[in-house]
A and B are shown apart, each in its own frame.
Chain A
Amino acid sequence: MKTSEILLRLINTFGITSYENNVYKEIKNILGEYYPEISFDNYGTGSLVAKYGNEGKKIALFAHADEIGVVVSKIENSQFVRVAPVGGVDPRTLIAKRILLRTADGEKTGVAGMLAPHLQSAATKDKSPSFDELFIDFSISGGTKNIEVGDMGVIKTEGTELENGFITGKSIDNRAGITVLLKTIDYLKDLKFKGELYLSFNKGEEVGLVGATGMANMLNPDAAIVVDVTFAGENESNFEIMKMDEGPAIAVGAPVNRDIFESLKNTAEENNIKYQVEVTPNRSGTEADSVQTSLCGIRTGIVSVPIMNMHSPVEIVSCKDIDDSAKLIALFAFEEAKK
């Protein structure tokens, strides 16, 4: 599988929380093209699971399939609507962007507007508009006549390759993680893997870790790795800064079992895979927060792909980091299955 191709297919898919089925369809297409023997199941609230291997220990990899976006909360008139965030959306990232809305009548393009600067008062010139003050203009696609409150949308943008193999676009959080899961199979197929590997593509992470909780209960694996993205290039000032092109970030702290952390780190070192250590003293903000504490407790680790501009339409990732993350996880799973 060519990493950049799969990633672009996935990030160009409309998959705001509750529209994960679009992403699932693309995942099935991709895996079907390369590994037709892999079987799929849907559990609980509808998350998708793919199974690889039929013997030995159960190892589960978790990655959320949803992305942040907006929902129509009020229709102002024949051209304008107001929206509310789905997940952690910074209203500043919407300004002067195109918004792609799914309606019963098909897709509609709008423009997120704000008051023109020369029409603003001095008081508002140094302030970014909140969701209350933003509006989406649908004059460009026939107005609001077929738009309903509750219709959902994302910032409209095409995934693009930048210089030196970086990819930019929306929803790299967490389609980068999904890509890691898919690529793991690529690396595992060359090893004599003796285990049951579950790839769990979960719903609803952005609105509160919804899908992973049920999936952890359902799968009850011997070991779990949650794959998500983390901040590259900036962090709280008392934390190390993760960098792109410096390999996967392996988390250490409460939401991670110490032995899994050690094992991931040793695997990386033994196989010359560049890695970074990310400290998560309390909750991690990833699905590990719910997976680890499920049932009688599940041994859990976190591997994150560093990305820039998280929760914006111009998230950036290095394909090399995705490949290295997949390679690390495949080798970890191979060793873990032998234990």
Chain B
Amino acid sequence: MKKYLKDLVTLNGVSGREENIREFIKNNIKDKVDEIRTDNMGNLIALKKGHDSSRKLMVLAHMDEVGFLVTKINEDGTVNVSPVGGVDPRVVKAQKLLIEGKYKAVVNSKPIHLDHSTESVQKYDSIKLFAGFTKKEQVKSKINLGDMVTFDVDYFENEDFALSKAFDDRAGCSVMMDVIDNLSENSILPQYDTYFAFVVQEEAGLRGSGSAASYIKPDAAIVFEGTTAGDNPELEKEKWATHITNGPVLTFMHSGLVMKKELFEETVRKAKEIGIKYQYKMRTAGGTDAAKLSRTAYGIPAAVISVPCRYLHSPNTIISLKDYENVYKLGNSLIIEGRIAEL
């Protein structure tokens, strides 16, 4: 387990630029599944045949991460960017970034001696990247409009915790790869035909999962996600949303969707049955691909199981590896049993 997590979060791929993640996943699962295809959107869909082909279960996680695209190249050699997905400008100031995974760049930060208004937010109109170029002409031979920009951080793990960018949602991708490994290494057949969909463009507005689901036409789906944990001293306990180390987050409702009750209850029942810690998402802000699936084709019901993440959508997100393991355990047994597809 967790064989791929570090590699997955270290790879770079914002919405629309998932190719490196897709290749990595494909290379590691292609010999372990019955069919594998990439659709027109770039979704990677792998079929693991079950005992019974009368029903289909879709499991999905998104491959993309939040980041930026280069939107402007300035005369002084700096470049402007605009976020892909929701990146609060406050987490961007004075960060190290990577352009196309190749050029190291840093984000400007006006010296405190010249800017005493430390409560003001440096917004995207004044965020500029410096990569070592001092003239527009130098930049143009190396960096192009539309180039992908990601956070430049390494993966750090200690005891039961891990720190990195992009756990949202490479943690979900990693859980699915771990399940595929388990099925393949132990020659386990899931109850129903199970489609593992590694989808694109979630962060850009749930733009990938619909086309994957249209192809699969599943009876039901399980979405694996990374979700916000607000358990910090600046927030009253009742507003925490989720808490790291309290186990998989089970969602009854989020932005744009109230889950189909039977599916939600099945995730709770299973968590109790296997005896793991679990928690409910206590705030309904933020959405997942489940909202998109409910509006796709005939309306596909989905359950959502998430790894709680502190400092989501920042270069330094913290997860509990125990939570991760329990998301895997819960997901693994739900997939093998397949009851979700019967409800």
Contact = CB atoms under 8 A, between A and B. Distances in A.
Contacts of A244: 134
A310 B104 contact: no
- Interface residues of A, dominant DSSP: loop
Contacts of A308: 108, 130
B253 to A, nearest CB: 15
A45 interface: no
Nearest to A237: B114
Interface string B238-279: 010100100000000000000000000000000000000000
Interface stretch (A47-55, A113-121, A258-266, A325-333): A113-121
Interface in B71-92: 76, 86, 88, 90-91
Interface in B302-330: 310-316, 318, 320
Interface in A179-218: none
Interface stretch (A32-40, A159-167, A269-277): A159-167
B105 interface: yes
Given A92-B122, A96-B91, A142-B158, A137 B232 contact: yes
B163 A128 contact: no
Given A90-B109, A234-B110, A314 B95 contact: yes
Contacts of A168: 96, 104, 106
A41 interface: no
B119 A127 contact: yes
A28 interface: no
Contacts of A96: 90-91, 95, 311, 314-316
A177 to B, nearest CB: 16
B108 to A, nearest CB: 6
Given A96-B91, A139-B318, A310-B113, A160 B118 contact: no
A161 B103 CA distance: 10
A65 B290 CA distance: 55
How many interface residues does chain B have, given as a range?
A: 35 or more
Given A116-B228, A128-B120, A309-B111, A157 B241 contact: no
A224 interface: no
Nearest to A77: B233
A98 interface: yes
Contact of B131 (A95, A139, A162): A162
B51 interface: no
Contacts of B235: 115, 119
B118 A91 contact: yes
Given A140-B156, A245-B134, A309-B111, A95 B90 contact: yes
B267 to A, nearest CB: 23
A164 B107 CA distance: 17
B109 A309 contact: yes
B318 A140 contact: yes
Given A309-B111, A311-B111, A166 B132 contact: yes
B311 A93 contact: no
Contact of B113 (A135, A163, A231): A231
A9 interface: no
Interface in A242-292: 244-245, 285
Nearest to B228: A116
A97 B159 CA distance: 20
Contact of B90 (A89, A92, A235, A309): A92
Nearest to A243: B134
Contact of A162 (B93, B104, B115, B120): B104
B232 A113 contact: yes
Contacts of A165: 132
Contacts of A231: 111, 113-114
Given A139-B244, A162-B105, A309 B94 contact: yes
B228 A118 contact: yes
B241 A314 contact: no
Given A91-B118, A92-B118, A245-B134, A311 B158 contact: no
B138 interface: yes
A76 B315 contact: no
A221 interface: no
A160 B96 contact: yes
A13 interface: no
Nearest to A245: B134
Interface in A85-110: 88-93, 95-98, 109
Interface string A116-157: 111100000011111001010101111000000000000001
Contacts of B229: 116
Contacts of B159: 142
Given A157-B96, A309-B106, A314-B96, 13 more contacts: A91-B118, A96-B311, A116-B241, A117-B86, A162-B132, A163-B103, A163-B138, A164-B133, A231-B114, A235-B114, A309-B94, A311-B109, A313-B94
13 contacts: A88-B112, A90-B115, A92-B94, A96-B91, A96-B315, A97-B95, A109-B158, A111-B311, A114-B234, A135-B234, A162-B130, A309-B109, A312-B111
Top 6 nearest A-B pairs (CB, nearest first) are A163-B132, A162-B132, A314-B106, A312-B109, A96-B91, A310-B111
Interface of A: 76-77, 80, 82, 88-93, 95-98, 109, 111, 113-119, 126-130, 133, 135, 137, 139-142, 157, 160, 162-166, 168, 231, 233-236, 244-245, 285, 308-314, 316
